[in-house]
Amino acid sequence: MCDNFKNFDIFKNKFQNDNIKILDIYKIFNSNNKRFYESGDTHWNDLGVKVFLEIIKISHNIKEIQLKESGTKKKIT
């Protein structure tokens, strides 16, 4: 979550078309003091993923979304 609109504009201009919809959710995620991503990182935490899923459900009128888990988890001891 950063306010680097230059990169967003480049991405949007390159990929947005009739088949691809792009949502600018920066203001939603930046509107309060909750953390939606890991500190010092760009990976979303659990809250960030859940909020994003709700945004997708509402904006695309989808009742259910299933996440595919991939990658590895590092257990911190």
DSSP string, 12-73: HHHH-SSS------HHHHTSSS---B-TTSSSB-HHHHHHHHHHHHHHHT-S---PPP-S--
Look up residue 13 and give its two tokens. Answer: 């201009």
pLDDT at 77 over 50: yes
Annotated domain spans of the chain: 5-60
pLDDT at 4 over 70: no
What pLDDT does residue 40 have? 67
What pLDDT does residue 66 have? 75
**Angstrom distance (rounded) from CA 16 to CA 50:** 24
What pLDDT does residue 1 have? 45
pLDDT in tens, 13-70: 888 888 877 777 777 777 777 777 776 666 778 888 888 888 888 888 888 777 777 7
Contacts of 18 (CB under 8 A, 6+ apart): none
- Which amino acid, one-letter code, is at 18? D
